[in-house]
Amino acid sequence: MSRSLSDFQKRIEEIYFERDNARGLCGTTLWFVEEVGELVRALRRGESGNLVEEFSDCLAWLATLASITGVDLDAAAWSKYEKGCPRCESTPCACP
């Protein structure tokens, strides 16, 4: 079963959108930043067993922020990177 980033974003909306939207952009951004901090800590400490959870949490909070602001993450990601590097349009990037 293939699932897209859009499917994930919709699932996070189903679970959390009402609460996160009521909290607002500023409060939700703070939660996202906290999760990014937890991911950075796990990366720096080499906590490989914790990385899946932390990446998942960061992606969920990013999806919530995108939903609050009306951005489809799947479309956004492809619109910038579909041709490769946004600067040189090469894959892999050939920028100096």
**Residue 31 to residues 34, 38, 68, 70: CA-CA distances in angstroms?**
5, 11, 14, 18
pLDDT in tens, 58-84: 999 999 999 999 999 999 989 999 999
Kindly state whether residue 48 falls inside one of the protein's structural domains.
yes
For residue 90, being part of any structural domain is answered with no
Which residue segment(s) compose the domain that 64 sits in?
A: 5-81
Cis peptide before 96 (omega within 30 of 0): no
Gap between the Cα atoms of 24 and 26, Å rounded? 6
Q: Is residue 9 a contact partner of residue 67, using CB atoms and an 8 Å limit?
A: yes
- For the segment 15-73, what is each residue's pLDDT rounded down to a tens digit? 999 999 999 999 999 999 999 999 999 999 999 999 999 999 999 999 999 999 999 99
Predicted TM-score of the model (pTM) = 0.90
Is residue 96 one of the residues assigned to a domain?
A: no
Q: How many angstroms separate the first and last alpha carbons of the chain? A: 39
Element (H, E) at 74: helix 73-81
Is 55 a member of any domain?
A: yes
CATH number (domain holding residue 17): 1.10.287.1080
Q: How many distinct structural domains can be found in the chain?
A: 1
